[in-house]
Amino acid sequence: MATAGARTYSLSSPDSRIRIEVDTREKVNWSVFYDDILILEPSGISLTLDSFGTLGLNPRIINQESHSVDQGIQSFVPVKSSIIADKYNELVISFRGEYRIAFRAYDNGVAYRFITEIENELIIRSEEINYSFPGNYDVILTHTEGFITHQEALFREMKLSDMADSGLYFPPALVRIKGGPVLLLTEADLFDYPGTYYRKGDGYSLKGVQPGFVLKERQINDRTVIAEERADYIAETTGTRSYPWRVICIAGEEKDLLSNQLVYLLSRPLELENTGWIKPGKVAWDWWNANNISGVDFKSGINTETYLHYIDFAAEYGLEYIILDEGWCHPSDHFRVTPGMDLEAICNYGMEKGVGIILWVVWKTLDNQLEESLAWFEKLGVKGIKVDFMQRDDQWMVNYYLKIARKAAEHNLLVDFHGSYKPSGLRRAYPNVMTREGILGMEHSKWGTDANPDHNVTAPFIRMVAGPMDYTPGAMTMHTPGTSWPGSRGP
């Protein structure tokens, strides 16, 4: 548990193998040990607010409390475990300036978060996030040039010193400690706040950065809305709140990361009263095989006959859903259904066969037509929506995800966030959010070779630790070399 001395504090995991040390003298720094091996050197953390200064700098302690938790968390929709062990020790330090910092030590990781109790609305100018390592360790990261990104990139293995000085790396990120464990860096309980990226820091370190608050947007086409002007701060928010957890999953070997569920455990609990209607399942995907069907007496394509055939296929082979991807309607108007598509007949036939319908939608169109679209989908008997092309995780867009999760749940609709950022805990509060992309998936096999075997087998140990992946793990039949991807054949 926590002990104090000379304004330093120590917190151990329940099995005592992991230890956090917190130094609160000139500024708040934290460090982490595993089996008494230093795996994270003292790393500064702070939160800079307009009008309130920098929390964590010249800290003045009012109080510190510690406690232990040992309980089981039941997941109302299947995850990796039906009952998830939630066992940790926690230290919460209260500071003058109406803020606290909570630290947790689990047997398989550590985390911290800021908590403010300020009456006023706040402008968050920046958050200091540092991970300083004792050596030039191997890391596996995914790179992007900017904050407008689908977070689809190959995993890159390199030394910390080999990281690019420009560009960004998005979590989760894996660090191999020489002679010690492996670490996975990410975040949890991301609400009303921008997502985090990493840059190369001083020495052997990573530092967190977030996209600025969006002041002005510009719509490029029916699906792309860029941040044309950003503020020099990252968020506008209420003053009484908790902030995202900064998480380090810790494992003796990479294989142990597969069972790590800290992102789920550290996120806010269920906010839905009824989850009985939420049914996970397998999906037949029309876009993957370009609506090609063989051996039928009609022309395949985006038409009623093709989707009735898909429903028959799904029913015969035990697939719970089919998806109607791009093409079933005009991308800018859900109510301009493509000629030859009888959406009501398709949904009715699916209900007769016990096969649910998932509809692809452009995020911007959904936002423009939200209430009327969701009400119509529910009336048709649609079971879920695949929301695509957000490609941002500034504060506004993070709040959009929450809005869609809530509104979809009101209409008993599942949600798949495609074109998205990585999972950060939303699915625990809203388990109708079944999965999301935020990964370079095997759909890239249609037009290139970047989704290579190394990438495919790495994903479960890094990206999937954060949550489920909309990934396209394989195909029943693929095209032969030399043929174009629209020639791919499916059911």
Active-site positions? 388, 443
* DSSP secondary structure string for all residues of 387-400: EE-----SHHHHHH
**How many CB atoms are closer than 10 A to CB 74?**
9
Nearest to 193 by CA among 419, 397, 392: 397
d(Cα 59, Cα 52) in Å, to the nearest integer? Answer: 13
User: Cis ω on the peptide bond leading into residue 172 (within 30° of 0)?
Assistant: yes
d(Cα 254, Cα 252) in Å, to the nearest integer? Answer: 7
d(Cα 381, Cα 366) in Å, to the nearest integer? Answer: 18
Nearest to 63 by CA among 89, 90, 92: 92
d(Cα 41, Cα 205) in Å, to the nearest integer? Answer: 9
**Which position has the token pair 């879920």?**
384
Per the DSSP assignment, residues forming a β-bridge with 122 are 237
Nearest to 122 by CA among 180, 192, 174, 70: 192
Helical residues (DSSP H) of 176-303, grouped into ranges: 262-265
Helix axes 304-317, 343-353, angle to 10 degrees: 10
Q: 55 phi and psi, to 5 degrees?
A: -80, 125
Nearest to 361 by CA among 378, 379, 373: 373
Listed in order, strand segments (DSSP E) in 347-451 are 356-362, 384-388, 414-417, 433-436
**How many CB atoms are closer than 10 A to CB 64?**
18
Q: Give the Å distances, CA to CA, from 12 to 63, 105, 110, 146, 333.
A: 19, 6, 10, 38, 55
Answer whether 402's CB lies under 8 Å from 190's CB.
no
